[in-house]
Structure 1
Amino acid sequence: MNTVLFVDDDDDLRRATAQSLSLSGFHVTAVASATAALREVEAGFDGVVVTDIRMPGMDGMDLLARLVAQAPDLPVILVSGHADVRTAVGALRQGACDVLEKPFPVEQLIASVERALERRQLLAENQRLRAAPIDADDGPLLGRSPAIEQLRRAIAQVAPIDVDVLIQGETGTGKGVVAEMLHARSRRRGQMVGVDCGALPPGLLDAELFGHVAGALPGNAMPRTGRIEQAHRGTLFLDDIDAMGEAVQLNVQRVLERREVTPLGASAARTLDLRVVAASHVDLEQLVGTGRFRASLFYRLNGVTLRLPPLRERREDVVPLFRTFLLRAATRLGVEPPALNSGVFRHLERHDWPGNVRELLRFAENVALGLPGTGPATAPAPACADLKQRVDLFEAEAIAEALAAAAGDATRACAALGLPRKTFYYKVQRLGIDLSRFRG
């Protein structure tokens, strides 16, 4: 999408303009008539058309009408030495994306072409987003990157084997999803019982895990079956196991070794048939090295270790995952998937996603609802960004800050930035900034 079809019957102007566009980095095809232009478009042209209005035979307005009927998403820029308000308005109503008057500075043409190409790319992205089916293959663990494909194969291989599993991965990478997949694809007929070790106060963790007999605890006349025993013939999922205190770690280690549990106050142990899946967002081996996690429990748990890759290491999955999450959110909320501005795609490409899949899911839901915070100036520049990307990001952030400080008042924002209104609105359009989200 970096191609320009330039149409003008003036040989000198056509050659000069084509050369200027080529020097600016565009792939240029220059033709002398509307008929030749139509042949180029029929051959699968995917760029932008710049055409003179006054030409012998089929003129630019007729060419515009044919192109709009043939390819409605094809951007067309009209050029004329006789442009007036009526001609410009008529062309824009007919579907032209811009009208330039001869003689025009080459910078003006280049800026108009860049806007048109960006608009076409955005339309193409939105069409792909709407046309693509929701990715439901391979269960809930979505993605097509080599890392996620390898993880799915490992889960399929390990799930039927009755072995304890340790899942390690950053926050939001899907450790709970992997635990559910391991249980669902196992041969166990019991339920999966989950324990969030980091959410329970240390004083309650023993009672939650091991249960107690009647009267074992003050104020508890009724017996309680602990989570470990509830997982009998099923799977016990210990999430954030690194949050366990040392005493509880020792008791859990004994359960894993003996496959039996003794509720608080009980005189005899109860035999268990269970599989343990533990998860941690930190490297347990490092905690063992610092003395914050029992080495014996770690080696008991890590018979099989599954490591979940963070989203920044499988960037090819970001846009497909976002597409799936957005369509699911729109369906659940009963809304149409919104047309996306360039800021959303820029954010998807540049953001490092420290919250991983969970953060991406929330972002997709916010976009589906049209909430603030889904605009263009939301992502820091990556280390590999080139100079133009860094300048664009700086400008987007500066404009967003000025608009926020001015409560959406464009006049005040222009004054704060020292920009003419025309330049300001050009940058707002090019950077995909939604002015409405700053108002009020």
Structure 2
Amino acid sequence: MSEPIILIVDDEEMMRVALEQWLRLSGFTAHVATNATEALALLDDVRPHVVLTDVRMPGLSGMDLLRAVRERAIATEVILITGHGDVPMAVEAMRAGAFDFLQKPYVPEQLVKTLRRAAEQIALKREVSELRRKLDGGESELATRLIGTSRLMDDLRHLVRELAAIPTDVILLGETGTGKEVVARCLHDFSPRAAGPFVAVNCAAIPAELIESELFGHEAGAYTGARDKRIGKFEFTNGGTLLLDEIESMPLLAQAKVLRVIQERAVERVGSNRLIPLDIRIIAASKADLRAESEAGRFRADLYYRLNMATIPLAPLRDRGDDCVLLFHHFLAEAARRFDKPAPSLHPADVNALMVHSWPGNVRELRAAAERFALGLDAPGRSLGNLLGAEASPAPAAASLAERVAAYERHVIEAELARHNDSIAAVVDALQVPRRTLSEKMSRLGVRRQSA
């Protein structure tokens, strides 16, 4: 925690000055107010961890200030000081929500200990509150970043919400293009580390002879050509989240050194004998089954077991039902805005083509297809089915009739919502369905208004 912020409230100038100087020397950030009214006006700007107030003051008393702070329901503790304390007053103060009640003369060192305990408690409350706010208020944000209405996507969002708050290493397992880096960023952004750096390293893209320098850094002169000191990715990520993408391609020798860093949470630059403590979260992403790779001797088993605190499987697009249609609409609208072109309409045959295509490149392939469709660079009149069919064969098992109907209904409703600027009344008229029927279908199909 950074320096705790204390708001001193006392009408006696000598006491204010003495307290302010003592607390600043003791490692606090101190602000002062001459009375309770002034203190209340400062609360929002100062956001103190603790209000340290005298009880007896002209106008509002310290007890009045305590009650006002509690009525505002802000994350701030209040400690009362008085030279006229008695048991009934102390009991009343504690019942009103005071953190502590001190009587003059007090021992300065004891005051500092009490302030630190109160500030640590508030810092923890604020951290928990902020995390809950992110998780609760982030439901809609998660839904826009991890798009899909299938059960697999519901499960994925649930796992991300749960694991974001837990300071544990994670393995992301999924085919190429399933969105492993997107999930890693969500784990970071919805965690207490969100203010820290997020660093992604593609292990497959680093030459074997450079991987140690890239990950661990080096001192000047550590080897030929190392003229300057270099900070490695582990050290650079301190306080944040490090994504080791395609970790299965990392050389075995480098894996052994990464294991040591992860176990000790400390890194040693090449050419140095000094360990640098690390406070980082490791997310390892792989398209290969790391357990199978370790059993085959291609990946260190000890590193796999150390990383495997939690595993998040990412489903291929072909297993996510009509999520592909929802995603295609999303990427199509995004591309149309970027290229400043109107989004082309999808016909029923196009929706069916999206549903039956195997999507070997998963979401990455889908995004590219949506961008090409938005640009209209293919032959005029060419259907999406022909475009996709020219690139890859359809999935062995086509979508069921119910899935195709649901996908088409979703497409029609979304298209009408877009055409009528989210006006439900206009869509009801255009589709000639009762408002209740439309609402039920939107709920069942996961259709949301853009302005919602």
TM-score scaled by length of structure 1: 0.55
Q: 2:187 maps to what in 1?
A: 182
Deviations 1:153-172 (A, max 9, x none): 11001101110011000000
Q: Please give the alpha-carbon distance, in whole angstroms, between the structure 2 residues aligned to 1:190 and 1:227.
A: 14
Deviations 1:157-209 (A, max 9, x none): 11011100110000000000010001111111320111100111111111100
Residue 368 of structure 1, aligned match among 351, 367, 374: 374
Residue 164 of structure 2, aligned match among 156, 159, 162: 159
Calculate percent identity across the aligned residue pairs.
Answer: 43
TM-fit CA distance, 1:383: 3.2
User: Do structure 1's residue 253 and structure 2's residue 266 form an aligned pair?
Assistant: no
Residue 358 of structure 1, aligned match among 338, 353, 364: 364
Q: Give the AA of the match of 1:172.
A: G
Q: 1:301 maps to what in 2?
A: 307
Question: 1:292/1:341 Cα in 2 relative to 1: closer, same or farther (>3 Å)?
Answer: same
TM-fit CA distance, 1:138: 2.2
Whether the 8 Å contact between 2:356 and 2:395 is mirrored in structure 1 is yes
Whether the 8 Å contact between 1:136 and 1:142 is mirrored in structure 2 is no
Query: What is the SS of the residue equivalent to 1:138?
Result: helix
Query: What is the SS of the residue equivalent to 1:276?
Result: strand
Whether the 8 Å contact between 1:202 and 1:245 is mirrored in structure 2 is yes
Question: 1:266/1:341 Cα in 2 relative to 1: closer, same or farther (>3 Å)?
Answer: same
Residue 396 of structure 2, aligned match among 372, 378, 383: 383
Whether the 8 Å contact between 1:259 and 1:272 is mirrored in structure 2 is yes
Q: Please give the alpha-carbon distance, in whole angstroms, between the structure 2 residues aligned to 1:149 and 1:339.
A: 28
The aligned runs of 1:70-219 (5 Å cut-off) are: 138-188=143-193, 189-219=195-225
Q: Please give the alpha-carbon distance, in whole angstroms, between the structure 2 residues aligned to 1:366 and 1:331.
A: 14
TM-fit CA distance, 1:265: 0.2
| Larger displacement relative to structure 2 (304-313 or 372-381) | 372-381
Q: 2:132 maps to what in 1?
A: none
CA RMSD in angstroms, aligned pairs only: 1.8
TM-fit CA distance, 1:381: 4.4
User: Do structure 1's residue 314 and structure 2's residue 320 form an aligned pair?
Assistant: yes
TM-fit CA distance, 1:284: 0.5
The aligned runs of 1:278-427 (5 Å cut-off) are: 278-341=284-347, 343-372=349-378, 375=383, 376-377=385-386, 378-379=388-389, 380-384=393-397
Deviations 1:88-134 (A, max 9, x none): xxxxxxxxxxxxxxxxxxxxxxxxxxxxxxxxxxxxxxxxxxxxxxx
Q: Please give the alpha-carbon distance, in whole angstroms, between the structure 2 residues aligned to 1:297 and 1:160.
A: 23
Q: Please give the alpha-carbon distance, in whole angstroms, between the structure 1 residues aligned to 2:364 and 2:321.
A: 15
Question: 1:229/1:359 Cα in 2 relative to 1: closer, same or farther (>3 Å)?
Answer: same
Q: Give the AA of the match of 2:152.
A: A
TM-fit CA distance, 1:371: 2.3
TM-fit CA distance, 1:215: 1.1
Deviations 1:251-284 (A, max 9, x none): 0000110000000000211111111011001111
TM-fit CA distance, 1:140: 1.0
Question: 1:163/1:381 Cα in 2 relative to 1: closer, same or farther (>3 Å)?
Answer: closer
Q: Give the AA of the match of 1:203.
A: E
Q: Give the AA of the match of 2:363.
A: V
Query: What is the SS of the residue equivalent to 1:198?
Result: helix
TM-fit CA distance, 1:350: 1.5
Q: Give the AA of the match of 1:331.
A: R
Q: Please give the alpha-carbon distance, in whole angstroms, between the structure 1 residues aligned to 2:178 and 2:353.
A: 19
Question: 1:180/1:201 Cα in 2 relative to 1: closer, same or farther (>3 Å)?
Answer: same
Q: Please give the alpha-carbon distance, in whole angstroms, between the structure 1 residues aligned to 2:187 and 2:142.
A: 16
Which sections of structure 2, spanning at least 5 residues, go unmatched? 1-139, 400-452
Q: 1:121 maps to what in 2?
A: none
Question: 1:281/1:244 Cα in 2 relative to 1: closer, same or farther (>3 Å)?
Answer: same
User: Do structure 1's residue 223 and structure 2's residue 229 form an aligned pair?
Assistant: yes
Query: What is the SS of the residue equivalent to 1:162?
Result: coil
Question: 1:362/1:332 Cα in 2 relative to 1: closer, same or farther (>3 Å)?
Answer: same
Q: Please give the alpha-carbon distance, in whole angstroms, between the structure 1 residues aligned to 2:295 and 2:378.
A: 44
Residue 247 of structure 2, aligned match among 235, 241, 251: 241
Whether the 8 Å contact between 2:164 and 2:188 is mirrored in structure 1 is yes
Q: Give the AA of the match of 1:146.
A: R
